[in-house]
Amino acid sequence: MNMSRRRKASHENRIDYGLILTVFLLAIIGILSVYATTVLVEGNDLRPTLFHALWYGIGAIAVIVVMQFNSEQYWKMADYLYGGGLLLLVLVLIFYDRSLATSTGARSWFTIGPFSMQPSEFFKPAYIIFLSKLVTTHNNQNQNRTIKSDWILLGKIALAALPPVILIQLQNDLGTNLVILSITAGVVVISGISWKILAPMIIGVVLFAGLFIYLISFNAELVVNSGILAQYQVDRILDWLNPFANAQGSGYQLAQSIKAIGSGQLSGKGFGVSEVTVPVRESDFIFTTIAENGGFIAAALLLFIYFVLIYQMVQTCFETKNEFYTYIAVGVISMVMFHIFENVGMTIGLTPITGVPLPFISQGGSALLSNMIGIGLILSMRYHYRSYRYADAEDFLY
């Protein structure tokens, strides 16, 4: 069998229709949920729903574009994507939308006509690609792993993560920073760094977090006065520890969210039927609409679809014989999983409120487009791997 025939694969076999179908189901749920929230519950016009559908259309185009590039091309673009992303993070600190900053407290958005853009969302996939190249390069240059080489890799990763973390924190966007850290943690865990290093670090982080929460619960004023956290951030942690202690004040949103989800019971109240007021339902708290309208059944179905999505992406890690691709897949998986866990968790009081949207469901074009680009990267991995699956190993091992 000659090289051209070994590389030949049908167009149908190169596209992962299962993953596309899963995202399509999430798109339907997302559009219907935004419609139910903004039109049927809040009595607004169709514009939020139409804009959400429009962003899905833009996202579909982005997926097609992203799929066209293979691992070698992403490898060459990685440094430029990371640098361009950092430039956007700097520019938004200068040209941010003043009105949005006043209402949200975060300097994270550009506004162009009717559209708002959050550069930190577009930085996420760029960061994933750059971090994947960094780890792959280090591992290829250090075939014989030692504790010293692992510490060097950890230092490189920290240096890559530090600039965006600082710039995003200057925007006052803790939620996005937590996503960046979750991506970093996911790649670190599978990078081959010895558990002699990782285990003490994980234990230390857990102990520090526990002590920090203990300090806030008993002396919140000290934390605020020291400048470590703002008052509203401390209030969110206190409300998380005791959701109904201040249900008419800072804990109102969380208390109402828990009430809305619980009131849905097993099968819900019906599409577009809501009897509990929850602020910003259409974005960060859209899970309350799904749970109140469709009950436990609808909420469980959504989580099952997410499980299928994650499972399909994990499969990619095992199917593609490409270290660079594997780190990209893990980065995307870490990003999506953290979004799901944090968003659903904060609506039921499992985690503090951080303003992290529900992937593919919450209203918000930048976040949706970022997630679609992540899906495009996964589809690209399968697309190009399957087209070369009969080639010699060195042809697709980058």
Residues 119-170: tens digit of each pLDDT = 999 999 999 999 999 999 999 998 888 999 999 999 999 999 999 999 999 9
**What does pLDDT average to over the chain?**
89
Confidence of residue 14 (pLDDT cuts 50, 70, 90): confident
CB 329 within 8 A of CB 381: yes
Backbone φ and ψ of 68, nearest 5°: -75, -20
Residue with tokens 């490189």: 156
Confidence of residue 220 (pLDDT cuts 50, 70, 90): confident
Task: Give the max Cα distance, the chain.
Answer: 73
Does 174 have pLDDT greater than 60?
yes
Q: How many helices (H) and strands (E) does the chain have?
A: 17, 2
Confidence of residue 304 (pLDDT cuts 50, 70, 90): very high
Confidence of residue 390 (pLDDT cuts 50, 70, 90): very low
CB 201 within 8 A of CB 152: no
Residue 13 pLDDT: 63
Q: How many CB atoms lie within 10 A of CB 259?
A: 18
Residue 396 pLDDT: 40
CB 151 within 8 A of CB 197: yes
Beta-strand runs (E) in the chain = 110-112, 115-117
Q: How many CB atoms lie within 10 A of CB 173?
A: 22
